[in-house]
Amino acid sequence: TLNVSLRVSVCLRAGMCVSVLPTLSVRARRRMCVCPTRTEGDPRRKRDPLRGQRGTRGFEEIPHTGRNGWMNLVKFWRDDQFKVLHKHMEKTFNTLGPIYREHLGTQSTVNILLPCDISELFHSEGLHPRRMTLQPWATHREIRQHSKGVFLKNGAEWRADRLLLNKEVMMTSAVHCFLPLLDEVARDFCHLVGTRVEKEGQGQEGRRSLTIDPSPYLFRFALEASCHVLYGERIGLFTSSPSQESQKFIFAVERMLATTLPLLYLPPRLLWRVGAPLWKEHANAWDHIFSHAETRIQRGCQRLLSSQSRGVGGEEGVFTGVLGQLMDKGQLSLELIRANITELMAGGVDTTAVPLQFALYELGRNPAVQEHVRGQVQAAWARAGGDPHKALQGAPLLKGLVKETLRLYPVGITVQRYPVRDIVIQNYHIPAGTCVQACLYPLGRSQDVFQDPERFDPGRWGAQESGNGGRGGGFRSLAFGFGARQCVGRRIAENEMQLLLMHILLSFRLSVSSSEELDTKYTLILQPETPPSITFSTL
């Protein structure tokens, strides 16, 4: 805690800085410190005298959790804090206020949570935004001599590749192409669950109920849907005998994610050289991911070449998957296509399946919310005439449902940027090139940002609510990142989740046995401690 004799500066809404004794509570101080101060690029400020004048404080004065990164790392391991890193962040903000520094092993960050401060950060990200490099992933690519996709690139090379990928996965025209493919897989999911409910459930025929853990089906759905979009073909995970290789791929992704987190704070090349078991497990998981993706890419390439030789490829209006689109245009090398398709495939399973677990549970324990969303979905579906795009447009609560789920349970709990110029956040000087991260879990549950934050309310993201939140209010929802460096698979993931939730709500009523909040754990992504059981009742 801060020494009570320490004088601190707070920036009032008028932009004036005054010094006050920190006798106020942390929350009271937060409420006073809600607006970002001016950046160094502001002509009303002189660059040289920035520090120490008008109440602006130096970087070293930012509250911190301990200066020795290695000692902090040992404490984290000893107390098993990585598993609850999101809770640690929330607790630290409550103790130190809306900004703090943290040193863990080789990593050093400044952590923030208020939307106005996040706005200040993102407005200084520059033409080539940078986020924290997942060094274990980058090291694996370098050791295995794999090309890097856009997730691991920076600078002009990243921008050039990203602009080409955006045309196939982010633009509205691309979404219109792959939406029917996602819709097909979502329907198959509901058919599979419905068949099992009718066969194993209790109650009268046509009105049966069955309690299951849907997570295995959700993981199969996520992989099937993403592969359908990426390769333009189904991989058979909803058949009577799903591929064991695909199940192994899902397990490899889970192991890769779980081993990434502890490796982030250690030198991966050193661990590789000494043959550390943790590194071996991580590398083996990535090797399996690349091997599986390579098999599918080769199969897709052969199918496309065969179609072209028969004169049936490249027809206008025929969607051949993201792989086919990239190969047909020939603007990326085959090696770069492989790298990016593999990243999209690996990143499209857990990051979609896990939020769907949370969404189904929240719908089950909030029946009034469920009925409200279902009513809008049914009306939209009736008007759409079977067109999934029109149905989604007519049911904005589905989008709100996904945003609300990710507010409470963000897949990734931080979004990082390295500002390209010196900035001032919460009256502290932040030098250019500092790793600053917005912490999404405490942001989503902050009473300073959201009214009644514990309440699950998809309607809070409606038109009347979208402008709320004061200055920086547009930075309250960052689950997919922001700007040019936002998640490249965002449109696939958003539509994938919305379509599945739409078909589930059209087919089933959901309920759960407990209304308690789920315990969560962090393994590079936030997920339930134990997958929740859901009761599916046919409508």
Q: How far apart are CA 437 and CA 130, in angstroms?
A: 11
Cα dihedral 303→304→309→310 (10° resolution): 70
Lowest mean pLDDT among 91-100, 184-193, 298-307, 492-501: 298-307
Question: Average pLDDT, stretch 129-147?
Answer: 96
* Rounded Cα distance, 302 and 190, in Å: 32
Q: What is the pLDDT of residue 463?
A: 65
The least confident of 13-27, 96-110, 491-505 is 13-27
Fill in the DSSP letter of residue 538: E
The pLDDT of residue 312 is 58
CA-CA distance, 247 to 169, in Å (whole number)?
A: 25
pLDDT of residue 311: 65
**Band of residue 306 on the pLDDT scale cut at 50, 70, 90:** confident
Under the banding of pLDDT at 50, 70 and 90, the label for residue 13 is: very low
- What's the mean pLDDT in 109-121? 97
Q: Judging by beta carbons within 10 Å of its beta carbon (0-12, 13-18, 19+), is residue 195 exposed, middle or buried?
A: exposed
Share of the chain above pLDDT 70, in %: 87
| Distance of alpha carbon 278 from alpha carbon 285, whole angstroms | 11
Residues making up the binding site for heme: 487
Pick the residue with more confidence: 80 or 241?
80
The pTM of this model reads 0.87
Say yes or no to pLDDT of 67 above 80: yes
Q: Is the pLDDT of residue 304 over 80?
A: yes
Q: Binding-site residues, please?
A: 487
User: Which of 88-92, 219-223, 297-301 is the least confident region?
Assistant: 297-301
Q: Which pLDDT belongs to residue 54? A: 63
Dist. CA 183–CA 388, nearest whole Å: 7
CB 499 within 8 A of CB 183: yes
For residue 317, pLDDT over 60 is answered with: no
The class of domain 118-538 in CATH terms is mainly alpha
| Structural contact between residues 115 and 473, judged by C-beta atoms closer than 8 angstroms | yes
Q: Which of 206-210, 237-241, 282-286, 534-538 has the lowest mean pLDDT?
A: 237-241
pLDDT band at 241 (very low <50, low <70, confident <90, very high): confident
Domain segments of the chain as ranges: 118-538
Residue 490 is inside which H or E element, if any?
Answer: helix 490-507
pLDDT at residue 29, as a whole number: 44
Average pLDDT over residues 488-495: 97
What does the alpha-carbon distance between residue 197 and residue 176 come to, in Å, rounded to a whole number?
32
What's the pLDDT score for residue 30? 47
**Burial class of residue 519 in the structure, from the number of CB atoms within 10 Å of its CB (0-12 exposed, 13-18 middle, 19+ buried):** exposed
pLDDT, tens digit (0-9, with 9 covering 90-100), for 143-172: 999 999 999 999 999 999 999 999 999 999
Per-residue model confidence (pLDDT) at position 385: 93
Residue range 124-134: mean pLDDT, rounded: 95
More confident residue, 28 or 41: 28
* Residue 39 reports pLDDT greater than 50: no
> What is the average pLDDT across 98-105?
96
Average pLDDT over residues 431-458: 97
| Averaged confidence pLDDT in the chain | 88
Q: What is the pLDDT of residue 472?
A: 66
Confidence of residue 372 (pLDDT cuts 50, 70, 90): very high
Half-sphere exposure for 184 (CA within 13 Å, toward CB)? 16
**Mean pLDDT within 365-387:** 97
